Amino acid sequence: MLSLPTQDDLANEVNVGCATSPLRLESKHQHTSRCSLRVDSERSERSTTGPDDSPYMQEPRRKDVASEVPRYLTKMDKFVIRGGNPLVGTVRVSGAKNAALPAMAAAILTEEPVILEAIPDVRDIQTERKLLESMGAEVELGYGRAHHRTSICCRNLSSPEAKYELVKTMRASTLVLGPLLARMGVARVSLPGGCAIGARPIDLHIKGLEKMGAQITQEHGYLEAKTDRLRGAHIVFEKITVTGTEDLLMAATLADGETVMENCAREPEVADLASLLNKMGARIEGAGTSTIRVKGVEKLGGAKHRIIPDRIEAGTFVVAGAITGGDLIVAGCEPTHMSGLLSKLQESGVKIRTSEDSVRVQADGNLVGADVVTEEHPGFPTDMQAQYMALATQAEGTSIVTENIFENRFMHAQELVRMGANIKIEGRRAIVRGKTQLSAAAVLASDLRASASLVLAALVADGETIIDRVYHIDRGYERIEEKLRGVGAQMKRIGEMLPKKSGQLTGATA
């Protein structure tokens, strides 16, 4: 599916400038949040291990660049990457986007402020901020101060609605459905529609909420839901769904009576959400296992919570170390959340050493192919499949990559082939034959994780790769070019101003 940004999507991007020749323009990261920021007295709270220790925290705040883009222009960023450098040193991981998004939605459940630390500075978070603000919430994204501390207050929710303009750019916007129904008894949420990596229905969210007593109708592309009060129910998910589990979990916290959910997602992000909800006064047991029990309460209150490290960002860096034959420490992560990936990399000949909060990856260029099947947690994550495929192109022998979660998640393969990879797609299987010398090319990012795989391929390609449409990667990776440059990658962001076209489309992806 064609997936271009709207002017609104691009407003948050950085480094406004005219088309520039590669490797001349310095990347300038500027903060774009329009929220007022608190004073920096919290800076001294920096820990030595967490994402807040990042040197990026020390940068001056960005000024809002949106107003600098003339209305008749859109801005398209690209990455220019010159391959060949092994990555050496320490790279730090940010807070998990996929844990931060439900945590922000959880703030809807209470009138009191919810303080979240380690919220990553990525575009999906900006979208969630816009979504919550459009409902009447007060959101302060506190980038630039210690812990990336963010506060959300949903005291006055005047408009319990998630509009299409926001849901279409980020499917996780549907996470507000459960909390709105539970707190307000009413919700109007746009259907997400298709996206770049498959159909991605939300039927299981709807069925679960109906079982809890919600009346849900569909009109003009919107779900209209209402209830006097949700009631506890016994819900067995037909299929494991991460945001589905999170949506119903939030709804159940304020339901009348006990909810038992079976065949739940066991992802660490679900357990992190439950931990926040319990701090808010919820009574949840079993999150992180396949059966979750929730005793509904009358009211939830405010809380302070630190978001878990991003296991997918960490995994991407681990693969970056491995593919470049580097010696990289990925710091501030949670290795126990990455077992599916790490054991597969060891099978491929990568030396992995873990500590409580870091992974050291060492590789000498002698990788061997290994088959991968994507599964729900704790199996190999679908969000690491594209990055693993880039690695497999550099491994001796054949690797068969089977995608079991999403039906259309091989779009990166054709771009990798353009760079010289030998990949054949057969339905849900990709057969990767290595080792092939990759050569730099102009390539197109098609979704968030596909973009990451192209970055990884470019790090070992011969010459300068130009990756177009990096707004996809900005949805989920915090300043990836700065982080990778810090450990030796030759990588720049360049901005290009283009005439604005009407009717541009934007795809929602993982």
Q: How many CB atoms lie within 10 A of CB 194?
A: 14
Q: Which stretch binds ligand UD1 (CB under 6 A): 73-81, 82-90, 237-245, 423-431?
A: 237-245
Measured between alpha carbons, how far apart are the two ends of the chain, in Å? 14
Binders in 156-185 for ligand UD1, by CB under 6 A: 171-172
Which range touches ligand UD1 (CB under 6 A), out of 69-77, 194-202, 295-303, 485-493?
A: 194-202
| Among candidate residues 57, 122, 87, 98, the one with its CA nearest the CA of residue 310 | 98
Stretch that binds ligand UD1, among 38-46, 202-210, 302-310, 424-432 (CB under 6 A): 202-210
401 neighbors 437 (Cβ within 8 angstroms): no
Q: Is 473 in the site for ligand UD1 (CB under 6 A)?
A: no
Please give the backbone phi and psi of residue 241, each rounded to the nearest 5 degrees, phi first.
-130, 130
Nearer Cβ to ligand UD1 (246/415)? 246
For residue 380, state whether it binds ligand UD1 (rule: CB under 6 A): no
Phi-psi region of 101 (alpha: psi -120 to 50; beta: other; left: phi over 0): alpha
Please state, in angstroms and rounded to a whole number, the distance separating the CA atoms of residues 176 and 466.
37
The answer to whether residue 311 forms part of the interface with ligand UD1 (CB under 6 A) is no
202 sits near ligand UD1 (criterion: CB under 6 A): yes
Question: d(Cα 321, Cα 386) in Å, to the nearest integer?
Answer: 16
Orientation of helix 203-211 relative to helix 242-253, angle to 10°: 20
Q: From CA 481, how far away is CA 465, in angstroms rounded?
A: 14
Residue 427 and residue 409 in contact, taking contact as beta carbons nearer than 8 Å: no
Instruction: Considering only the stretches 62-70, 234-242, 251-259, 271-279, report the one whose residues sit in contact with ligand UD1 under the rule CB under 6 A.
Output: 234-242
| Shorter beta-carbon distance to ligand UD1: residue 12 or 243 | 243
Q: What string marks each residue from 411 to 450 as x (binds ligand UD1 by CB under 6 A) or -?
A: ----------------------------------------
* 195 is known as an active-site residue: yes
What the block records as the tokens of 416 is: 């990798």
By the rule CB under 6 A, 114 interacts with ligand UD1: no
The correct pick among 13, 161, 272, 383 for binding ligand UD1 (CB under 6 A) is 383
Q: Give me the sign of the Cα torsion angle 460, 463, 469, 474.
A: positive
Among 242, 389, 392, 401, binds ligand UD1 (CB under 6 A): 242
**Which of 154, 195, 264, 333 is flagged as catalytic?**
195
Residue of 83, 142, 244, 321 interacting with ligand UD1 (CB under 6 A): 244
User: Shortest Cβ distance from residue 204 to ligand UD1 (Å)?
Assistant: 3
| Pair 80, 466: CB distance under 8 Å | yes
Angle between helices 97-106 and 242-253 (to 10 degrees): 20
Enclosing H/E stretch for 226: strand 222-226
Q: Which of 200, 311, 469, 493 binds ligand UD1 (CB under 6 A)?
A: 200
Q: Convert 158-175 to b/e letters by CB count within 10 Å (16 or more is b).
A: eebbbbbbbbbbbbbbbb
Residue 208 in contact with ligand UD1, rule: CB under 6 A: no
Cβ pair 17, 65 in contact under 8 A: no
Q: How far apart are CA 262 and CA 237, in angstroms?
A: 6
d(Cα 261, Cα 243) in Å, to the nearest integer?
14
| 209 is a contact residue toward ligand UD1 (CB under 6 A) | no
Does 248 engage in binding with ligand UD1 (CB under 6 A)? no
Give residue for tokens 């967490």.
50
The size of the interface with ligand UD1 (CB under 6 A), counted in residues, is 22
**Min dist. Cβ of residue 341 to ligand UD1 (A):** 13
Which member of 100, 101, 195, 318 binds ligand UD1 (CB under 6 A)? Answer: 101
Question: Does residue 313 belong to the site contacting ligand UD1 (CB under 6 A)?
Answer: no
Using the contact rule CB under 6 A, the part of the chain among 183-191, 200-208, 357-365, 394-402 near ligand UD1 is 200-208
The smaller minimum CB distance to ligand UD1, of residues 51 and 244, is found at 244
List active site positions: 195
Binding site for ligand UD1 (CB under 6 A): 98, 101, 171-172, 198, 200-205, 239, 241-244, 269, 382-383, 405-406, 510
